[in-house]
Amino acid sequence: MSTSQSSRPKLVTASCPGGMARQFRVQVASAETPSSWKLVGAFRDLGQAGQCAASLQKAGYQTRVVACSALPTAA
């Protein structure tokens, strides 16, 4: 392999329905409207999402981690 090929960034293509790689979204309950949730961050790794949610819970927020594998679409 030549040096120019090895220095290129590696790309990963999405291979799931909807065209989006699986991700884990961390959400917190909204103080203004308790029945709705606000996005805090999106992670490729469940462990990182869990760490983010745990630190937010320690700070007093109600959190959840949602696994997403397809793009949301309007009904």
Question: pLDDT per position in the chain (75 positions), as tens?
Answer: 445 555 666 655 555 555 567 889 999 997 777 678 999 999 999 999 999 999 999 999 999 999 987 666 655
pLDDT of residue 1: 45
Residue with tokens 């884990």: 24
So what's the pLDDT on residue 2? 47
Contact 25, 66 (CB under 8 A): yes
How far apart are the two ends of the chain, measured CA to CA in Å? 48
